[in-house]
A = this chain, B = another copy of it.
């Protein structure tokens, strides 16, 4: 997750959307739900206006959360990274934008539980802390 040569500015949120997500057991769509989520979020972010936080959206070929489609991850320098599942390309867009705004407003990426959109409270798959200032060296 580190690459100092391409580090975005601190106030930019990185949004990774799995474009291969689909529901297990259902016939494969021409356009998968994950790809539809990516498209819908891309459009919504374009229409969000100049006051909305800066977001870099990236399509990803599988976040390995295949049992909880659709999935995405949020990260930003100095903040916890969060991975979410159980998202829907039609009904989750407003909640995701709300969650993005709240995530951006924090210093460390941790939005207080009660302020999180329900889709984020129920859909969290995992989180990863930002780089520690004093990791324990073992070798």
Q: Which residues on A are within 8 Å of B, measured CB to CB?
A: 1-4, 6-8, 14, 16, 42, 45-46, 48, 50, 52-60, 62-65, 71, 73, 75-78, 81-83, 124-133, 135-139
* Copies, count: 2
- Answer whether A1 and B81 are a contact pair too, CB < 8 Å, given A45-B138, A46-B139, A138-B42: yes
User: CB-CB < 8 A to A16: which residues of B?
Assistant: 128-129
> Is A129 within 8 A of B60, CB to CB?
yes
User: CB-CB < 8 A to A127: which residues of B?
Assistant: 62-64
- Answer whether A128 and B1 are a contact pair too, CB < 8 Å, given A45-B139, A50-B139, A133-B6: yes
- Answer whether A63 and B136 are a contact pair too, CB < 8 Å, given A1-B75, A4-B4, A81-B1: no
